[in-house]
Amino acid sequence: MGSRVVVVGGGIAGIQAALDLGDMGFEVHLVEKTPSIGGHMAQLDKTFPTNDCSMCILSPKMIMCADHPNITLHTYSELEGVEGDFPKFKVKIREKARYIDVSKCTGCGDCIAKCPVKVPNEFEEELNQRKAIYLPFPQAVPRKVTIDASNCRMITNKKCGVCKKVCKAGAVDFDQKDKVIELDAAAVIIATGYEMMDVSTLPQFGYGICKDVVTSMQFERILCASGPTGGHLTRPSDDAEPKTVAFIQCVGSRDTKTHPYCSSVCCMYATKEAILAAEHCPGIKSTIFYMDMRAVGKGFQEFVIRAKKSHGVRYVHSRPAKLQPGKDGNGVLVTYEKWGDKGETVAEEYDMAVLCPALEPRSNLGISEKLDMKLDSDGFFLTPEMRHPTDSTKKGIVVCGFACSPMDIPDSVTQASSVAARVAELIAGGEC
């Protein structure tokens, strides 16, 4: 029986599973669709409930993964298909053309400085721009640039080539093509995480209509010292420091018309973001509009109490019906119904508002079709076995992190270690 394992998804869950298996002596191939491993945790400023720096925890793990003798990274790569059954899978991986010879690129950034094309920066949630040749974020692993073919003038129009001219290492290669490789593997781990729902599909929440309505991930980037505002908390319309912020929970979550499930992390990260806002702008008044406060983890309720007592965060039990531009076109007018018998309607103006959208496992559908795995009604992988809660419906393929069900970082790490142990048990021929 082989001892090679393919892990799909290079967020914190996939990274942890790869490290655990690599340490046990398995040969691990970690497949990540973007140019760097790290997943959403790389975008976070701090993490609840301790408010530790997210990158300070994640970055060493990313580097350990890249340097591990038993782990091979396939970044900017996707799962093409899986054939066969446990323990003899044949896994096809498409390594997309970066148009860069990664063995030569030093990550110096000379090419980035000279590239004339600017496009919205997805890592910064489109709050600023990146170049057509880019490093997704400063601590990216691997530290190799990628040319975004759809925006590069040379690739689309045969004009430019500036990056090739300035690259002293000779790393730019416009003739590079996608490569499909095939690996024999005993087991596969799926850790493909989540995407944020498109909140513009719910116009009542004002996203794209009010300039000062942002998503929680945009707010996370605004708070971050390496983010688009250099960590200065400002609102988009006029770059002014907000004095009042409204956080709107359950935007699309626990809504039978969109996502009936609870996204699980929003009550806590909104509390975290409100505390961080107070640390950035002393005296700021944050209000969290919530359906139910779900603070069920270790130290979570204490975190909420700290937000209230030490940072003056106000919690309002209500589901706002409408967000509109404020009186002068900036800011946000939040209309909500007071909880209770009378159902009185209230309208309050805030300097900005932060939406906490449903988090959806968008990659799961494509993967379930390619791997013949079943999904539950919410789109998460079906894990029917109570005795082995990370086993999918296909033997030898296990799931962890947000792709399995909504969960925070500590739970994703715990589950990742659990799938590593489960895979080791399966391969060793233990109880299945």
Ligand X SMILES: Cc1cc2nc3c(=O)[nH]c(=O)nc-3n(C[C@H](O)[C@H](O)[C@H](O)COP(=O)(O)OP(=O)(O)OC[C@H]3O[C@@H](n4cnc5c(N)ncnc54)[C@H](O)[C@@H]3O)c2cc1C
Site residues, ligand X (CB under 6 A): 8-14, 31-34, 39-41, 44, 47-48, 78-79, 191-194, 216-217, 220, 265, 269, 272, 359, 363, 367, 401-402, 407-410, 412
Least Cβ distance, residue 159 to ligand SF4 (angstroms): 8
How far apart CA 65 and CA 39 sit, in angstroms, is 14
Q: Which of 14, 325 has the CB closer to ligand X?
A: 14
Q: Which does 12 bind (CB under 5 to 8 A by kind): ligand X, ligand SF4, none?
A: ligand X
Least Cβ distance, residue 264 to ligand X (angstroms): 8
Q: Which does 355 bind (CB under 5 to 8 A by kind): ligand SF4, ligand X, none?
A: none
CA 124 to chain centre: 12
Q: Which of 132, 424 has the CB closer to ligand SF4?
A: 132
CB 74 within 8 A of CB 29: yes
Token duo for residue 111:
């090419």
Q: Footprint of ligand SF4 on this chain (CB under 6 A)?
A: 100, 105-111, 115, 117, 132-133, 145, 147, 152-154, 160-163, 166-167, 169, 171-172
End-to-end Cα distance, the chain = 15
Residue carrying structure tokens 């030898």: 396
Strand runs (DSSP E) across 54-196, as ranges? 71-74, 77-85, 88-95, 118-120, 129-131, 133-134, 146-147, 179-185, 187-190, 195-196
How far apart CA 70 and CA 67 sit, in angstroms, is 9
CB 86 within 8 A of CB 187: yes
Least Cβ distance, residue 81 to ligand X (angstroms): 12
Least Cβ distance, residue 50 to ligand X (angstroms): 9
Q: Which does 420 bind (CB under 5 to 8 A by kind): ligand X, ligand SF4, none?
A: none
Q: Which of 140, 334 has the CB closer to ligand SF4?
A: 140
Q: Which of 125, 148 has the CB closer to ligand SF4?
A: 148
CA of 309: how far to CAs of 302, 314, 315, 371, in Å?
Answer: 10, 10, 12, 50
Q: Which of 118, 179 has the CB closer to ligand SF4?
A: 118
Q: Which does 153 bind (CB under 5 to 8 A by kind): ligand X, ligand SF4, none?
A: ligand SF4
CB 101 within 8 A of CB 173: yes
How far apart CA 419 and CA 348 sit, in angstroms, is 47
Least Cβ distance, residue 177 to ligand SF4 (angstroms): 17
Residues, the chain, total?
432
* 304-312 long-range contacts, CB within 8 A, separation 24+: 304/267, 304/271, 306/275, 307/271, 307/274, 307/275, 311/274, 311/275, 311/278, 311/279, 311/286, 312/278, 312/285, 312/286
Least Cβ distance, residue 149 to ligand SF4 (angstroms): 9
Q: Which does 73 bind (CB under 5 to 8 A by kind): ligand SF4, ligand X, none?
A: none
Q: Which does 269 bind (CB under 5 to 8 A by kind): ligand X, ligand SF4, none?
A: ligand X
Least Cβ distance, residue 171 to ligand SF4 (angstroms): 4
Q: Which does 34 bind (CB under 5 to 8 A by kind): ligand SF4, ligand X, none?
A: ligand X
Q: Which of 72, 151 has the CB closer to ligand SF4?
A: 151
Q: What is the DSSP string of 203-249?
A: GGG-BTTBTTEEEHHHHHHHHSTTSTTTT----TTT-PPPSEEEEEE
Least Cβ distance, residue 266 to ligand X (angstroms): 7
Least Cβ distance, residue 147 to ligand SF4 (angstroms): 5
Q: Which of 28, 333 has the CB closer to ligand X?
A: 28
Q: Which of 167, 217 has the CB closer to ligand X?
A: 217
CB 20 within 8 A of CB 422: no
Q: Which does 228 bind (CB under 5 to 8 A by kind): ligand X, ligand SF4, none?
A: none
CB 325 within 8 A of CB 332: yes
Least Cβ distance, residue 205 to ligand X (angstroms): 15
Q: Which does 402 bind (CB under 5 to 8 A by kind): ligand X, ligand SF4, none?
A: ligand X
How far apart CA 335 and CA 322 sit, in angstroms, is 5
Q: Which does 299 bind (CB under 5 to 8 A by kind): ligand X, ligand SF4, none?
A: none
